[in-house]
Structure 1
């Protein structure tokens, strides 16, 4: 892996993660100071990482200036944000925070400024090629001191809050935050020790610092999202529960309803026997007709997080509704509870069914002859090309009706249309397994017949069994029988041709040979042109 790829994975990619997490934490509750400080902490890490990337990949000639005037202040601001965040989470009084937080930010930044004024940038930072730290030992001690002491200070603040709180959920949150901070503190000390002893290079140490910090920030965001830092969130949740546009049920582990919101009440009305007797699981049905209640015991220990189904809701006296059903466990509840969400998609499913039916109709029109219902020319061509691509052996039989023009001229086009429908129905009736039948012109039909043998007599016999019954069933019109006569030409894939155009041309040649020889017969294409005629109708 080259340096640019390593920089992307260890610096630039985590920067995008920090930006996403900063925005999401801020958007969660921007009115609260805790969320704003947590968001600023992640943004300062983002700017620090971006400085490292710019220094390493884009402008290495300005490495010293970027490190001393950008990266170092961003790192010091980050750990100052950490102490401020710990004060807020730890519940320290606002008056104490206001008096001390200014010095929390000022102390490291003033120390850096004084060192720059006293020693100058060139003395504090010297780019090295031997893999050791480019920082002056005094500068390195300053960085390690403030990073280590501020992380340790944050741990002490949170540890004191953990020891004094009586709230179980808050105690659990503080314990997890303490553990993550302690791991970050140990990680930084270990990496710094390895760097000091020259076991790792400066670039590797940066990657290790970044990876450890990224994991800690991810855990911090998870804690802020999972735990209720602020009591007002309970009121907010209650308001959302009542005003939610979807039906929400609170179930116990047996599937009985403990609570439901107004939208859910509108689905069921006011249960006559009380909400505790309402069995929502018995009203939801899968496609196979079984209810959620029937399968309730099959759910693995009710670990139902991220489960989503499309189900049918059947309420007595109402029409069935299509629903999206989602279920999830409530974590941290004193007793096992499940949230069930029902989203009404009845209108969407109706629209979906209409679209599917419309698509089916459009596809049928695109590939079928509107008069006879047989495949049209495009569909026949598609079937032929697919069979050729699959290497199948088949016969292409081109069928042209004899004297069809006289039927139209004598009886009219409407009767001619009925005559064509009669022919199509007969061809479908006598078709074999795997046959494809299509109408490709006014009175021209195509039959694709699978070949079980390339023997010409066998081919003729199979074609004869499919086509000659047409002549035994004349079309009846006003007690008048109109006889059926046809001329058919046969070409074989791949004996006669290996592409569609050649197959059609050779079948056409055989068919016109029938026309010239008296009609009402089947000709098999003969490459020698000496013996095209294979059978006539009176050979039956």
Structure 2
């Protein structure tokens, strides 16, 4: 069993039960104090289970704070409400009882608050993945004392009521309630004893506590149906169906709707009473335009009872909705029936798409020059360092444009920007597979060129990539602006083993061209420590 299934069985399922029991108990008779206290008991247990789920499945990094500031108060509140409820069931009513009830609630919560103030959370709870209880001995004693004593007090109150009452039906109800509470008390004490003796781990003890609570809920079911103490489970699940936040539909095997809940009614725009036979599933489709019934038929061949997918819903004259759909087959029905759960995740998917698009845009901006679209300095350095780390052979070509300032001064910066875009487009157009082209400054470009030849052929490789710049002038309206550049070439790993040295040698070669007349390519000579200059306009 995976963690999701375990969480559902031990936390979420009891939470759903207590939630609907709380609603129905309260709604049945709001004026009854007994109903209100019983409802609060269910809510306290609900919040306790939700706290367990949050700390284990959602925010385990805040386990200590959730346990001490949420779970522990909810547990103490639940057992306090239980004592109050037993007093009401027993029919004890007097002015003194109100004072007793006040201290019943106040004592455990105040003790917890004082212990937190005195020792601090770090001393009272030490999170651990497995092993003995994470509670400190002092905290464990506090929990055992109040849970055990309050359960015993509840049993004593009910026992007193059973002895004193003369009503036969009430006696039977009290015996059943006594038996369930006594069993729950024994179970909690037994599991706590095993945990304190390190016979079981903390995670196992949580599952056992939840199991005991579920058994207690099952025992309450008898009281619900036999003594009308709480509403029936049929009404509870009807409330679940009506109040569920997701759209729920009951379909036949032809895709016709037999029943839908209010959420589905609002989603599809049809009244639930008139939805019988409605063909809604025709508008639901998967990536390959497979219909819902076709997909279910395919999975039925594999004997799969319940499945969950993402799909889209077509709405006429509207945008498509993204949906999560889960289907479950109802066994034992005279005709094949399917329960369909639909959750609208359109806004979530749209947010996801925007985040992915934003991430892509941010990454592009982080590694590309905004004017030319070439790799920027950071990206060039990253690619070069990766090649160096992989011990690849490559040449670094540093290109500096000649006479770029007069272009800006004569024609303006906008034309200067177009001139740079022209250079970048030519470099990208004539780059070969494996080349990295980038702009690292105002009029400086870099080209990382892989090669496997000797140093004498490096110039030829560089010339073939840069020669198109000299024969393709920049045209602006009726004006032709020639392209002139000075380029220096260094090689890894023949001449340098790190990026700084490569850039330094390429820069020396490039400035040698600048000093000797510009408009040429110069290859750094590692043998004679001088520079070999070859005109860029010749071969």
TM range, normalised to the smaller chain? 0.5 to 0.7
Q: Is the 8 A contact 2:262 2:272 kept in 1?
A: no
CA separation of 1:405 and 1:75: change in aligned 2, threshold 3 A = closer
CA separation of 1:462 and 1:304: change in aligned 2, threshold 3 A = farther
Deviations 1:2-34 (A, max 9, x none): xxxxxxxxxxxxxxx999999887666355799
Offset of residue 269 of structure 1:
3.8
1:95 is aligned to 171
Q: Is the 8 A contact 1:25 1:221 kept in 2?
A: no
CA separation of 1:390 and 1:326: change in aligned 2, threshold 3 A = farther
2:461 is aligned to 462
1:525 is aligned to 524
Distance 2:159 2:10 in 1: 19
Distance 2:337 2:156 in 1: 41
Q: Which is greater in Rg?
A: 1
2:21 is aligned to 29
Distance 1:222 1:216 in 2: 10
1:241 is aligned to 241
CA separation of 1:82 and 1:444: change in aligned 2, threshold 3 A = farther
CA separation of 1:363 and 1:26: change in aligned 2, threshold 3 A = same
Distance 2:271 2:152 in 1: 61
Offset of residue 58 of structure 1:
4.6
Distance 1:356 1:348 in 2: 12
Offset of residue 493 of structure 1:
1.8
Distance 1:328 1:93 in 2: 41
Q: Is the 8 A contact 1:309 1:326 kept in 2?
A: yes
1:403 is aligned to 403
Secondary structure at the counterpart of residue 498 of structure 1: coil
CA separation of 1:323 and 1:395: change in aligned 2, threshold 3 A = same
1:373 is aligned to 373
Offset of residue 506 of structure 1:
1.1
Secondary structure at the counterpart of residue 199 of structure 2: helix
Map 1:377-526 onto structure 2 (within 5 A).
Answer: 377-451=377-451, 453-526=452-525
1:287 is aligned to 287
Map 1:139-218 onto structure 2 (within 5 A).
Answer: 207=199, 217-218=209-210
Higher alpha-carbon deviation: 405-414 or 271-280: 271-280
CA separation of 1:266 and 1:517: change in aligned 2, threshold 3 A = same
Q: TM-score, normalised by structure 2?
A: 0.62
Gap regions ≥5 residues in structure 2: 1-8, 26-34, 46-74, 81-107, 109-123, 125-131, 161-167, 225-229
Q: Is the 8 A contact 2:21 2:236 kept in 1?
A: no
Secondary structure at the counterpart of residue 362 of structure 2: helix
1:309 is aligned to 309
Aligned length: 422
Secondary structure at the counterpart of residue 289 of structure 1: coil
Secondary structure at the counterpart of residue 469 of structure 1: helix
Q: Is the 8 A contact 2:422 2:474 kept in 1?
A: yes
CA RMSD in angstroms, aligned pairs only: 5.2
Offset of residue 515 of structure 1:
1.4
Deviations 1:481-504 (A, max 9, x none): 221111111112222222221111
Distance 1:276 1:532 in 2: 88
CA separation of 1:291 and 1:465: change in aligned 2, threshold 3 A = farther
Offset of residue 472 of structure 1:
0.8
Distance 1:205 1:332 in 2: 47
Offset of residue 289 of structure 1:
3.4
Distance 1:220 1:358 in 2: 49
Distance 2:515 2:481 in 1: 22
Distance 1:490 1:293 in 2: 66
Higher alpha-carbon deviation: 461-470 or 342-351: 342-351
Distance 1:28 1:474 in 2: 78
Deviations 1:188-246 (A, max 9, x none): 9xxxxxxxxxxxxx999983899999776544444567896554443343344334443
CA separation of 1:412 and 1:302: change in aligned 2, threshold 3 A = same
Secondary structure at the counterpart of residue 29 of structure 1: helix
Distance 2:201 2:416 in 1: 86
Deviations 1:385-409 (A, max 9, x none): 2222333222111001112122223
Q: Is the 8 A contact 1:496 1:527 kept in 2?
A: yes
Q: TM-score, normalised by structure 1?
A: 0.62
